[in-house]
Amino acid sequence: MSADVTIRIQEADFDIAREIAGLTKGRTDIGAVVSFSGICRGSESGERIAALTLEHYPGMAEAEIARHAAAAMARWPLTGLSVIHRVGRITPGENIVLVLTASQHRQAAFQAAEFLMDYLKANAPFWKREESADGTGWVEARAHDDAAAARWTKS
């Protein structure tokens, strides 16, 4: 069977169970599905967050995610993967991102999901603006996200 790859950037929320069902439907070669869902927090470093607004460069963001999805497919024996990333205004408790990886065995699925999330946090072409009582501001890159992504390039 061939591997299924889904990449979507959308404003609308997503249903995690429906996405897993779509990835695994009719497949008997899948022994593990790993899911990571990122959710908008209500505070950061003790400061309340009213909302996040995520922006992207249409076309470029999808292409960059597809490039990293292809790298994951080449690196691990995956039977499928999905990356769904929301844009627009997102309030605390709402979904932001979903990464699903499927494989015959759990280790490949776990590693590929972690690889994809590390890339999305550190390098994906998204910009995040945070709203709080003090106003709005762009979220800066974080060194720990860069370090997490860098470990996948070490020999």
Asked whether 122 and 71 are in contact (CB, 8 A), the reply is: no
- Taking the complete model, does pTM exceed 0.85, yes or no? yes
Q: At residue 155, does pLDDT exceed 50?
A: no
CATH among 3.20.20.30, 3.30.230.10, 3.90.1170.40, 3.20.20.220 for 4-150: 3.90.1170.40
Reduced to 3 states (helix: H, G, I; strand: E, B; else coil), residue 122 is helix
Task: Convert the pLDDT of each residue in 24-73 to its tens digit.
Answer: 999 999 999 999 999 999 888 788 999 999 999 889 999 999 999 999 99
Least confident range from 9-18, 32-41, 70-79, 122-131: namely 122-131
